[in-house]
Amino acid sequence: MENGNPVVWFEIYVDNLNRAKKFYESAFKLTLSEMPMPDTGEEMKMLFFPSDMESKNSASGALVQMKGFKAGNNSTIVYFMSEDCSIEEARIAGAGGTVIKSKMSLGEYGFMVQASDTEGNMIGIHSMK
């Protein structure tokens, strides 16, 4: 893959799927959808972010609750796209999360906010204005 985005999927592990669902739907004003999981013997539940798996250079992902996989303390940060990241930043606390770094300039690369969700996962929000 030349000059393409290699990221196609992300998973955010959660301890309480309903609490995390409420946080992400409130903070980003979107609807997560449940997808029936095949019976693999694993205790796993997933809620999917709105996506089009056929789109090139864009990632899809899900909240995942799975026995043996604890939320938080991860070393990967997923950044969500935004028109203006201060909008989502204003919703974070009301959705049950915590703003870690308020909107800050990245110069010619736009702006970012870093926050913690209700499960202790660090997330980022990026915008160009």
Q: Are 72 and 19 in contact (CB under 8 A)?
A: no
HEC string for 67-111: CCCCCCCCCCCEEEECCCHHHHHHHHHHHCCEEEEEEEECHHHCE
Q: Which residue type occupies 53?
A: M
Specify the pTM. 0.81
Considering only residues 53 and 65, tell me which one the structure prediction assigns the higher pLDDT. Answer: 65
The structure tokens 């796993």 sit at: 44
The arithmetic mean of pLDDT across residues 13-29, rounded, is: 96
Give how far the C-alpha of residue 99 lies from the chain's centroid of Cα atoms, to the nearest Å.
14
Segment 64-110, tens digit of pLDDT:
998 888 898 777 889 999 999 999 999 999 999 999 999 999 999 89
pLDDT at 1: 42
- Indicate the DSSP class of residue 58: -
Q: Are 116 and 125 in contact (CB under 8 A)?
A: no
Residue 48 pLDDT more than 80? yes
pLDDT at 86: 97
CATH 3.10.180.10 assigned to domain 9-127? The reply is yes
pLDDT at 9: 83
88: buried, middle or exposed (CB in 10 Å: 19+, 13-18, 0-12)? buried
The span from the CA of 71 to the CA of 37, in Å, is 20
Residue 2 pLDDT more than 80? no
Domains in the chain: boundaries: 9-127
